[in-house]
Amino acid sequence: MSFCSELKNDLCIEKRSGCCQVAECYGFMLFGRSFSFKNISLITENEKISARYIKYLKKNFAIIPAVKKTGKKVTIYNISVTDPNSCASVMSAFGYNGADLLSINHDVFKRDCCFGSFIRGAFLACGQMSDPYKNYHTEFVIRDFTLALEFYSLLISRGLSPKRSMRGNSTVIYFNQSETIEELLTLMGANKKVLEFIEVQVTKTIRNKENRKSNLEMGNIGKQVDASFAQCRAIDVLIKAGKLEALSDELYSVAMLRKENPGASLSELCRLSGEAITRSGLNHRLKKIMEMAEKLIEEQKNDD
């Protein structure tokens, strides 16, 4: 089962008191398929969401909706209320009096406990969340543009930081930062999933740190290999020109040491030299050898 399906199932287990049930219903309805005086309907593939919504309608509005099941592989539940009187009683309970323009009635979630329930209803109606192991992304896909803008402003006014984009005719209000998604999960009362989410965040942070460390190490090894390659090439130039024997004893021994140990780091070369020499001392000698080789190459060029 996907992270999102698990999350939605977990949210459907959460028990809430009357005020929060009404606020959650409001989220279900506003962000469902249709919310008007003619038709209040919600479409979902999730059986638990369907059962919760039907239960809340019955308990808080004394309405038994029509439920139509369609789909072959996946069952789709279409839960609708079309009786004009039932629709009117729900609409007026949420403060709508016949005007067509539906704006979000903030009074429904005036109590602190209720705001989270409203968001939970909205998420269950039109939300999706990616598996945090893969990426951080939570979205609400809203068909009505004005409603989407209002919802966007509402989230901002509550200190969340959503982003906005279009997908076809729908507006997508989304979050792609782990801290905000964690906040959203907490707000919705997804207690089990918050803990799982935090665990993923910690694992990912540790893994990123390890990756950064190993990239750095790989970078250092790369630099070391490049330097050794250049040194060996310089030594070869000197050997070919018969100049190696002419080097001072200390340069000669370092050249031989490098030639025999092309993969060794400076520290390893120091140890192998058997001399009391520092890394910078050794590096200095290698640089001298390279300078001599470069000079030789220049001279050979001029001779040509």
Interacting residue ranges for Zn ion, rule: CB under 5 A: 19-20, 111, 113-114
Specify the residue, 113 or 221, whose C-beta has the smaller distance to Zn ion.
113
If DSSP codes are grouped into helix, strand and coil, which group holds residue 274?
A: coil
Burial grade of 213 (CB within 10 A; 0-12, 13-18, 19 or more): exposed
Least distance from C-beta 113 to Zn ion, angstroms?
4
* Beta carbons of 251 and 285 less than 8 angstroms apart: yes
Q: Would you give the DSSP letter of residue 98?
A: S
Specify the residue, 38 or 59, whose C-beta has the smaller distance to Zn ion.
59
Least distance from C-beta 117 to Zn ion, angstroms?
6
Least distance from C-beta 158 to Zn ion, angstroms?
15
DSSP H or E stretch at residue 227: helix 191-240
Specify the residue, 120 or 193, whose C-beta has the smaller distance to Zn ion.
120
Least distance from C-beta 187 to Zn ion, angstroms?
13
Specify the residue, 29 or 290, whose C-beta has the smaller distance to Zn ion.
29
Least distance from C-beta 184 to Zn ion, angstroms?
18
What strands lie across the sheet with 76-81, from one edge to the other?
34-35, 40-44, 76-81, 66-70
Specify the residue, 7 or 20, whose C-beta has the smaller distance to Zn ion.
20
Q: How far is CA 304 from CA 99, 202, 244, 297, 298, in A?
A: 94, 64, 22, 11, 10
Specify the residue, 16 or 288, whose C-beta has the smaller distance to Zn ion.
16
Least distance from C-beta 55 to Zn ion, angstroms?
17
What is the C-alpha separation between 286 and 258, in angstroms, rounded?
A: 9
Least distance from C-beta 111 to Zn ion, angstroms?
5
Least distance from C-beta 129 to Zn ion, angstroms?
23
Give me the torsion for CA of 286, 288, 289, 294, rounded to 10°: 130
What strands lie across the sheet with 127-129, from one edge to the other?
127-129, 138-142, 170-175, 163-167
* Beta carbons of 238 and 247 less than 8 angstroms apart: yes
Written as six digits, the tokens of 292 are 């001599």
User: For the chain, what is the radius of gyration of the CA atoms?
Assistant: 35
If DSSP codes are grouped into helix, strand and coil, which group holds residue 73?
A: coil
Specify the residue, 25 or 172, whose C-beta has the smaller distance to Zn ion.
25
Specify the residue, 184 or 266, whose C-beta has the smaller distance to Zn ion.
184
